[in-house]
Amino acid sequence: MNKPLVAILSGAGISTDSGIPDYRGPNGLWRRDPEAQRLVTYEFYMSDPEIRRQSWQMRRKNRTLRAEPNAAHRAVAELERAGVPVRVITQNVDGLHQLAGLSDRKVLELHGSARSVVCTKCHARGPMEDALARVEAGEEDPPCLECGGILKSATVMFGERLDPMVLGEALAITKACQVFIAVGTSLQVHPAAGLTGVAADHGARLVIVNAEPTPYDDRADDIIRQPIGTALPELLSRLGSAP
């Protein structure tokens, strides 16, 4: 008997055990420091060299590149190794699903990746670590080495739209899956949150694993409020061993 296709929509909550703070929770970065949003807003970033300098310093101090996958990330990779077809649609930019062992092609990064930089002019890409090394060496706002254009993190900033190819693929997976698990996400940021409703509309079993209530709780087949680091591994272990 074929195993069901499992789609996992992951948000910031899956990575907090790895030391990466969430952004919109009760103690999230945007609530503590609304000014920080300016550093990741495309319009401000492109027009103000001082904003770019501050952004590069923020990236230097960012814990994302030093973070390691936690039990929840590893459980997703283990589910795939158990022979269950898994696709991850993530709102996170930390790359921890891949570091845990899931292949790149099975992870759709809706908001891009903090592990790369991209030129806003010629679209050349490179490792974030190389750009940060240039900042450490004294370049306050390192330009693109290919064309001299403005470099930014390969993440989707406020004011930028999501990659339509990535979003289209996420939608196709959502419509095709038999089980849809939304984990560690407030389900308030669209269009990502809307995938939850699409999954339910197409008959998927909807499971929400999140500490706080979400707008989609009334459509869920199961709601799990326990800590993600223990709840998700238990849930996926049951899924992996189910006939």
pLDDT attached to residue 29: 55
158: tokens are: 């406020």
- 45 lies in the same domain as 135: yes
- 177 lies in the same domain as 240: yes
pLDDT tens digits along 40-71: 899 999 999 999 999 999 898 887 888 999 99
How does strand 86-90 pair with strand 112-119? unpaired
Residue whose tokens read 């990502």? 192
CATH number at residue 40: 3.30.1600.10
Average pLDDT, stretch 151-178?
96
In the predicted structure, residue 132 carries a pLDDT above the cut 90: yes
Where b means 16+ CB within 10 Å and e means fewer, 44-53 reads bbeeeeebbe
241: tokens are: 């061993």
- 42 lies in the same domain as 143: yes
- 142 lies in the same domain as 240: no
Place 26 in a pLDDT band, splitting at 50, 70 and 90: very low
Place 189 in a pLDDT band, splitting at 50, 70 and 90: confident
pLDDT attached to residue 32: 58
- 232 lies in the same domain as 243: yes
pLDDT attached to residue 243: 61
CATH number at residue 211: 3.40.50.1220
pLDDT attached to residue 34: 63
pLDDT tens digits along 91-105: 999 999 999 999 999
In the predicted structure, residue 182 carries a pLDDT above the cut 80: yes
In the predicted structure, residue 31 carries a pLDDT above the cut 80: no
Average pLDDT, stretch 199-221?
96
In the predicted structure, residue 227 carries a pLDDT above the cut 60: yes
Give the count of domains, the chain.
2
Catalytic residue numbers, as ranges: 111
Q: How far apart are CA 140 and CA 110, in angstroms?
A: 28
What is this structure's pTM?
A: 0.90
149: left (phi over 0), alpha (psi -120 to 50) or beta: beta
The answer to whether residues 179 and 204 touch, using CB atoms and an 8 Å cutoff, is yes
Q: How far apart are CA 243 and CA 239, in angstroms?
A: 9
Q: How far from chain centre, in Å, is Cα 125?
A: 19
In the predicted structure, residue 166 carries a pLDDT above the cut 90: yes
In the predicted structure, residue 22 carries a pLDDT above the cut 70: no
Domain end among 100, 132, 155: 155
Average pLDDT, stretch 128-156?
96
Which residues constitute the domain of residue 124? 23-62+115-155
- 78 lies in the same domain as 194: yes
- 99 lies in the same domain as 29: no
Computed over every residue of the chain, the mean pLDDT equals 92
